[in-house]
Amino acid sequence: MTPVTVRTALVREVGCAVDGVLGEPAALVLAIAVADGEGLSRSERLRVAVDGRALDVAEHPGPVGTRWHTVDAPAGVLRVEYEAMVRGRARPATVTPLERILDVRPSRFVQSDILPALVDSEVVRAFADLPPLDRLGAVREAVSGALEYSWGSTRPTDGLAEPLEAGAGVCRDFAHVVAGLLRATDLPARVVSVYAPGLDPMDFHAAVEVAVGDEWLLVDATGRAPRRTMVRIATGRDAADTAFLASDGSALALTAVRVRAEANDPSPERPSELVALG
pLDDT of residue 51: 98
Domains delineated in the chain:
11-87 (2.60.40), 97-242 (3.10.620.30)
Category of 19 on φ-ψ map: left (φ > 0), alpha (ψ -120 to 50) or beta: beta
Query: How far is residue 276's CA from residue 228's CA, in Å, rounded to a whole number?
Result: 8
Q: Are 231 and 275 in contact (CB under 8 A)?
A: no
Rounded to an integer, the average pLDDT of 201-210 is 97
Strand-pairing partners, residue 11, are: 87
Chain-centroid distance of CA 59 in Å reads 19
Model pLDDT for residues 163-179, shown as the tens digit of each residue = 999 999 999 999 999 99
214 secondary structure, DSSP code: T
Length of the chain as a residue count: 278
pLDDT of residue 8: 74
Rounded to an integer, the average pLDDT of 181-201 is 97
Mean residue pLDDT of the chain comes to 94
Rounded to an integer, the average pLDDT of 56-78 is 97
Query: In 3D, which of 66, 77, 71, 60 has the Cα closest to residue 32?
Result: 66
Res. 35: pLDDT tops 70: yes
Query: How far is residue 15's CA from residue 37's CA, in Å, rounded to a whole number?
Result: 17
